[in-house]
Amino acid sequence: MIITKKKPREQILHSLKGCKKVFLIGCAQCATVCKTGGEDEVNEMAKGLCDEGFKITGSAILDPACHLVKVKQLFQKNKEVFKQADAVLVLVCGNGAQVIKDGTKAKKVVPALDTLFLGEIERAGHFSQKCVLCGECVIDRTGTICPLTVCTKGLLNGPCGGSKNGKCEVDKERDCGWILIYKSLKDSGELDNMRKIYKPRDYSKQLKPQKIIL
């Protein structure tokens, strides 16, 4: 799940400066769950823009917005509408915004959301980060807990020795990530993993941009 939040209204209006006609696009998946870019949010945005004097040429909810083929299909069905728009305002994640730019060749694509992190849905409206997309997953040896995420320092070999009463020295409100890993490994009978020293991360696996063809 890609977690997003709405950009400030003033920032969106500034990005749309000089535009009169706007096409809106939301996402039926992540942004809908985050209540940042679903049907309700797109309709709310459309109403707000109309109140500001903009003309809405159309809107769509893609499922999902990061699927290039679906974006191209939307463009083919709405070519004239897209041509009329001065800008396409997208209530989707940063990845989706760029896919929409590629798929529609729109003159101007304006993101209405900030992309925060990849996380889990704890319950409705509650999200927490679990993964940093490092390209070299190590949770098979750390009790199915990502040290790069839960450890404030991102240590592959821990703990650092600075925790106190189970809390991190960097953020005293946060549980020490490596104590959580220790407890998980203890429960699974794999505490020997704590004795192993792991090599530094291979940052070449995070070279950008990446592309995979199956």
Nearest in space to 163 (alpha carbons), one of 183, 148, 178, 143: 178
Strand 113-123's sheet: what is its strand order? 2-6, 113-123, 126-131
3-class SS letters over 145-193: CCHHHHCCCCCCCCCCCCCECCECCCCCCCECHHHHHHHHHHHCCCHHH
What pLDDT digit, counting tens, does each position of 123-158 carry? 888 999 999 988 888 999 999 999 999 999 999 999
- Where in the chain are the domains? 2-117, 132-199
pLDDT at 107: 84
Q: Residues 74-122: pLDDT tens digits?
A: 999 988 888 899 999 999 999 999 999 999 988 899 999 999 999 898 8
pLDDT tens, position by position, 163-214: 999 999 999 999 999 999 999 999 999 999 999 998 888 888 877 787 878 8
pLDDT at 89 (0 to 100): 97
User: Can you give the pTM of this predicted structure?
Assistant: 0.85
In this prediction, residues 19-38 reach a mean pLDDT of 97
Q: Is the distance from CB of 88 to CB of 23 less than 8 angstroms? A: yes
- Interval 33-56 mean pLDDT: 97
- The widest CA-to-CA distance across the chain, in whole angstroms, is 65
Q: Which pLDDT score, from 0 to 100, does residue 124 have?
A: 86
For residue 212, what pLDDT is reported?
A: 78
CA–CA separation, 52 and 46 (whole Å)? 10
Q: At 15, is the pLDDT very low, low, confident or very high (cuts 50, 70, 90)? A: very high
Q: Output the CA torsion sign for 175, 178, 179, 182.
A: positive
Q: What is the CATH number of domain 2-117?
A: 3.40.50.2300
Helix (H) or strand (E) holding 35: none
